[in-house]
Amino acid sequence: MSNLFTYTIRIADSALILGQRMAEWCSNGPTLEEDIALSNISLDLFGQANGFYEYAAQINGEKSADELAFTRNEREFFNYQLVEQTNGNFGKTIVRNFLYDSFIFLFYTELANSSDERISALAAKSIKEVKYHLRHSKNWLIRLGDGTDESNKKVQDALEELWQYTGELFEMDTIDTELMKKNIAIDVSKLRPKWNEMIDSTLKTAKLNRPEDGYMASGGKKGIHTECLGFLLAEMQFLQRAYPNAKW
Amino acid sequence: MSDKIFQEKIDAEKKIEPKDWMPEGYRRHLVRQISQHAHSEIIGMQPEGNWITRAPSLRAKMILLAKVQDEAGHGLYLYSACETLGVTRDELIQQLHDGNAKYSSIFNYPALSWADMGAIGWLVDGAAIVNQVSLQRTSYGPYSRGMIKICKEESFHQRQGYEIMAEMAKGTPEQKEMAQDALNRFWWPSIMMFGPQDSDSPRTGNAMKWKIKRQTNDELRQSFIDKTVPQAEVIGLTIPDPELKWNEKRGHYDFGEMDWEEFWNVVNGHGPCNKQRLAHHKRAHDNGKWVRNASQAYAQKQEKILKS
Ligand SMILES: [Fe+2]
Ligand SMILES: [Fe+2]
């Protein structure tokens, strides 16, 4: 596996897995309008995943975009652990997405300058969508944080629960550093100060407290996941696995 | 007096608008019909929503999710059309939860395989289109305009469903079997979507006079069957009705007897998924309560800040 291939499917995997989580909201939203908004976000994410998978398929030539999505095992998925976390209540979904959206917005903004034309184009296209996702999760976080005591408690609890998955967003490994030499990849560790600013100012407006940095999970980029990913994949890949010779 | 003017307007094919005078019976009939239609769009999200996370390709996933999202949009338009008649969405949802409002019985059947996504799009959206195209000419302005908007999307849904069926019908033997099985299960409930036969349909009288309904249940059903039978033939699937036969003299297909006992059972709450569908809707609504409350509390706080 080339570094470029791995780098590309990492991006695709996070988009796909979060898209899949968001799709679980369909017909379960707190209002009809919100149901539609959540589906929109999911559709954007599937579109982004598809774009990056198609490029990865081209780089590697072994598996098509669909095969990459539907026939790899848990240990071969390289998404961040944050995005695979279950939806929980609406507040947990909002917290998870806000933590991620803030990061991925900064990430794509930098990645749009990649020397790899396809990556830079895919990133540029994603920025607009992610900007909307960030506005959505941020506005909801503020509404829920500064809404009722009940809603404030629910999102604060979710923050405490999910904080441990934010550490790995800024981890670098050799694939990143190798590709950085060619100006293809970006230095995610450098996104941290800006991300901190975004998080702190929103949490303040939302009347929420930033959790202490305690245990920080790690491993998504190496294919180490939390227990919930296996169930997600089993459901998502069921048809492709059960009927390997079928075309759909 | 107003009754006469009203009927003249209807007879002259003029649309009735929210502020126009209308007989109470007309208003009541519309509220019942439009809300039932809106609830059908919303409850209809569930059987297909149930397969989004299992769709077999990225493209199929996106198409299905976008389709179900469209249905949510249709529900929104229709609730708004209903609100022009003086009922709020909250009231309508309450009626649904209390069991006082109905939705199309077709959604009380389970979606058991991926082929059902094909059958539902092809047959259920297909039947809905026949009904909705006819309703584009309905006499109530907001309802008619809603139908025009909705019909465009429904024909996409129908084509996408048919495409799934066609793809599976020419696929592996297992896929073809799934496709035929889906057709077997959805055929009769689909043609019963048009409601009871005209001879048993008590409300058709006024609805036709007021031009809320433009064609009778039997006319609509016949037009759906005539359109759909050749489509099944093209992809090599068999419609599960041994009496189905082209009638040269009538210029229509003859078809077998529908099981009206089953129909009324499902309408009256005794179908395979009636309880599940309603419970799902209530659960989502109840789970969202704290979110709606928080949203309202936040808005009130902001208003206070703006005022001070
Ligand atoms: Fe619809
Ligand atoms: Fe539809």
Ligand nearest to the CA of B132: 1
pLDDT at site B206: 86
DSSP state, residue B246 = E
Q: What is the DSSP string of B9-60?
A: HHHTTPPB-TTS---HHHHHHHHHHHHHHHHHHHHTHHHHHHHHTT-SSHHH
For A197-200, the CB contacts below 8 A with 24+ separation are A198/A102, A198/A106, A199/A99, A199/A102
Q: What is the pLDDT of residue A1?
A: 79
The predicted model scores a pTM of: 0.97
Query: How far, in Å, from the CA of A128 to the mean position of ligand 2?
Result: 29
Query: How far is it, in rounded angstroms, from Cα B303 to Cα B10?
Result: 45
In terms of Cα–Cα distance, which of A26, A151, A22, A21 is closest to A91?
Answer: A151
Cβ-based contacts of B46 with chain A (< 8 Å): 27
pLDDT above 70 for B1: no
| Structural domain includes residue A247 | no
Say how many Å lie between the CA of residue B133 and the centre of ligand 2: 13
Confidence grade of residue A211 (pLDDT, cut at 50, 70, 90)? very high
3-state class of B69 per DSSP?
A: helix
- The total of other beta-carbon atoms located within 10 Å of residue A107's CB is 22
Domain hosting residue A144, numbered range: 3-242
Hey, are the CB atoms on A239 and B56 less than 8 Å from each other? Answer: yes
Residues of chain B with pLDDT > 90, as a percent, come to: 94
> Is some CB atom of chain B closer than 8 A to the CB atom of A63?
no
Residue A92 falls within a domain, yes or no?
yes
- Spatial contact of A20 and A76, defined as CB atoms under 8 Å apart: no
H/E run at residue B254: strand B252-254
A248 inside domain:
no
Residue A38 lies in a domain: yes
Q: In A, which residues are within 8 Å of B70 by CB distance?
A: none
User: Mean of the pLDDT values across residues B95-119?
Assistant: 97
What's the B196 CA to ligand 1 centre distance in angstroms?
A: 21
ipTM exceeding the 0.95 mark:
yes
User: Looking at the domain assignment, is residue A89 inside a domain?
Assistant: yes
A87: domain CATH number?
1.20.1260.10
| B277 interaction partners in chain A (CB closer than 8 Å) | none
Average pLDDT, chain A: 97
Residue A221 lies in a domain: yes
Q: What is the mean pLDDT of residues B258-280?
A: 95
Strand partners, B253: B246
Closest C-alpha among A208, A211, A90, A82 to residue A153: A208
Q: β-strand B252-254 against B245-247: which pairing, if any?
A: antiparallel
Res B202 pLDDT > 70: no
Segments in chain A forming alpha helices (H): 3-23, 32-60, 65-70, 81-84, 90-111, 117-145, 149-162, 174-181, 192-205, 228-236, 238-242
| Cα–Cα dist B211/A156, whole Å | 55
pLDDT > 80? residue A179: yes
Q: Is residue A19 part of a domain?
A: yes
Task: Flag whether residue B111 sits within 8 Å of chain A, measured between CB atoms.
Answer: no
Domain count, chain A: 1
- For A148, which residue in chain B has the nearest alpha carbon? B294
Q: Does A239 touch chain B (CB under 8 A)?
A: yes
- Establish if A196 belongs to a structural domain: yes
Q: Quick one: pLDDT band at residue B204, thresholds 50, 70, 90?
A: low
Chain B partners within 8 Å of A208 (Cβ): none
- In 3D space, the residue among A79, A131, A80 whose CA is nearest the CA of residue A105 turns out to be A131
Kindly tell me if the per-residue pLDDT of B203 is higher than 80. Answer: no
- Judged by a CB distance cut-off of 8 A, whether residue B45 touches chain A is yes
pLDDT band at B98 (very low <50, low <70, confident <90, very high): very high
